[in-house]
């Protein structure tokens, strides 16, 4: 008799393409590995042709504190799959309260005033605009869904359920190749309260004076429960039933905020280098400059929402002035330090000997010795 040996399979293992996506997303979105995993699972199901026919590729609801990467993850997904964050059609639900605003999404019926001028945001061509030769996926993001009017809500329910929408001119839009994301700040207040020192469960004491510490795993689990419970309390069962997954984003700890700052600084360096050879400067930030950016750009209550703006204000704008006024030129390495005595960022040329820094390896932190060598390097 033939003997059958059963080989144990590992259903958690992802395919090559999904694995590549996961790696790429984790580089762009810090500290939200579970959310990344969810998005990758949805993509993998689609690649395997196993997603439910006649429905969107996936309907995912993102909850959690502000500034923790909900919108960023959707943008990063588009960047990773079709090479452009602008491929995401983002609908801010609070902006579509009245009939004429809804018309911006679906267009108005023929004969209505302005019919010809309206290019509905949700037309098939708008959805497919960023498809590439190999990736035919669209990305639709509904922000702050708890603020949607009844009309918008019904429109959303139809898309989630049947992957279809009828426009003002009676044409149909098909969303079966679309990943739908929804975000809401529901439960965020309760989560915030739970994070306040002395109330509920606070981040550990390793944080700085603003309370940015390492968030304990148990805290994360409790926050996830708070979010899901709030969604189930507020949203109707017919909506919840159409959601494939409710994903709660985690508050970010200090080490994650530092990694995000490095990402943002890297983007600034890339922007400088891509502005042309005549602008090819290298930025070099001291630890105190980075600490200052982190202190002013992030807060446990707002996440890193202001980090990008802080980097722009404290770094990009002064740098533009330095370029415009001819104080720096191509090939220069600019050292940026925060002087706590003067309470401001100090920009200086790095000494000639350091000019040979390889511009393909930007944003290295200067050693204490290099700082000492720096031209005009006043101590912080």
Ligand X SMILES: Nc1ncnc2c1ncn2[C@@H]1O[C@H](COP(=O)(O)OP(=O)(O)OP(=O)(O)O)[C@@H](O)[C@H]1O
Interface positions with Mg ion (CB under 5 A) = 70-71
Contact residue for ligand X among 18, 40, 72, 370 (CB under 6 A): 72
Distance of CA 59 to the CA centre of its chain: 18
> Of 60 and 106, which CB lies nearer to ligand X in the complex structure?
60
C-beta of residue 336 within 8 angstroms of C-beta of residue 314? no
C-beta of residue 268 within 8 angstroms of C-beta of residue 224? no
Of all residues in the shown chain, the one whose CB is closest to Mg ion is 71
Contact residue for ligand X among 45, 66, 97, 128 (CB under 6 A): 66
Smallest distance, ligand X to C-beta of residue 146, A: 11
List all residues 6 or more positions away from 151 whose beta carbon is below 8 Å from its beta carbon: 99, 102
Question: From CA 264, how far away is CA 267, in angstroms rounded?
Answer: 5
Is residue 69 within the footprint of ligand X (CB under 6 A)? yes
Contact residue for ligand X among 56, 58, 67, 251 (CB under 6 A): 67
Is residue 377 within the footprint of ligand X (CB under 6 A)? no
Smallest distance, ligand X to C-beta of residue 214, A: 15
Taking residues 290 to 309 in sequence order and writing x for each that binds ligand X by CB under 6 A, - otherwise, the string is: -------------xxx-xx-
Residue with tokens 């700890």: 253
List all residues 6 or more positions away from 310 whose beta carbon is below 8 Å from its beta carbon: 293, 296, 297
Question: From CA 57, how far away is CA 39, in angstroms rounded?
Answer: 11
Is residue 258 within the footprint of ligand X (CB under 6 A)? no
Smallest distance, ligand X to C-beta of residue 260, A: 4
> Of 21 and 346, which CB lies nearer to ligand X in the complex structure?
21
User: CA nearest 191: which of 295, 90, 67?
Assistant: 67
Please work out the total of residues on this chain that contact ligand X, with binding judged by CB under 6 A: 20
Smallest distance, ligand X to C-beta of residue 363, A: 16
C-beta of residue 51 within 8 angstroms of C-beta of residue 43? no
Residues that bind ligand X (CB under 6 A): 29-32, 66-72, 183, 185, 260, 263, 303-305, 307-308
């Amino acid at each position: 008799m033939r003997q059958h040996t059963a080989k144990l399979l590992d259903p958690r293992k992802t395919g090559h393409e999904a694995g590549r996506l996961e790696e790429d997303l984790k580089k762009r979105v810090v500290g939200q590995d579970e959310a990344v995993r969810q998005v990758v699972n949805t993509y993998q199901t689609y690649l395997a042709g196993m997603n439910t026919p006649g429905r969107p590729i996936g309907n995912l609801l993102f909850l959690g504190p502000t500034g923790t990467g909900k919108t960023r993850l959707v943008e990063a997904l588009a960047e990773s799959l079709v090479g452009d964050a602008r491929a995401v059609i983002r609908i801010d639900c609070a902006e579509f309260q009245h009939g004429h605003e809804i018309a911006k999404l679906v267009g108005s019926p023929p004969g209505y005033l302005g019919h010809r001028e309206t290019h509905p945001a949700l037309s098939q061509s708008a959805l497919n605009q960023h498809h590439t030769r190999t990736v035919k996926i669209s990305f639709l993001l509904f922000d702050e869904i708890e603020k949607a009017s009844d009309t918008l809500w019904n429109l959303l329910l139809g898309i989630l359920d049947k992957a279809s929408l009828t426009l003002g001119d009676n044409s149909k839009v098909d969303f079966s190749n679309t990943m739908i994301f929804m975000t809401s700040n529901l439960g965020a207040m309760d989560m915030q309260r739970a994070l306040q020192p002395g109330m509920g469960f606070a981040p550990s004491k390793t944080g700085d004076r603003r309370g940015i510490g390492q968030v304990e795993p148990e805290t994360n689990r409790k926050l996830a429960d708070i979010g899901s419970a709030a969604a189930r309390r507020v949203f109707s069962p017919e909506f919840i039933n159409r959601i494939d997954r409710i994903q709660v984003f985690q508050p970010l700890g200090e080490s994650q905020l530092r990694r995000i700052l490095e990402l943002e600084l890297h983007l600034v360096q890339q922007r400088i280098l891509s502005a042309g050879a005549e602008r090819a400067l290298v930025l070099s930030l001291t630890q105190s400059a980075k600490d200052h950016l982190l202190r002013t750009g992030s807060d446990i209550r707002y996440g890193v929402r202001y980090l990008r703006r802080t980097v722009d204000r404290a770094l990009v704008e002064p740098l533009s002035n330095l370029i415009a006024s001819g104080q720096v030129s191509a090939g220069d390495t600019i050292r940026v330090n925060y002087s706590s005595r003067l309470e401001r960022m100090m920009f200086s040329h790095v000494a000639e000997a350091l000019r040979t820094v390889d511009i393909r390896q930007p944003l290295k932190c200067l050693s204490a010795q290099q700082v000492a060598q720096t031209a005009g390097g006043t101590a912080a």
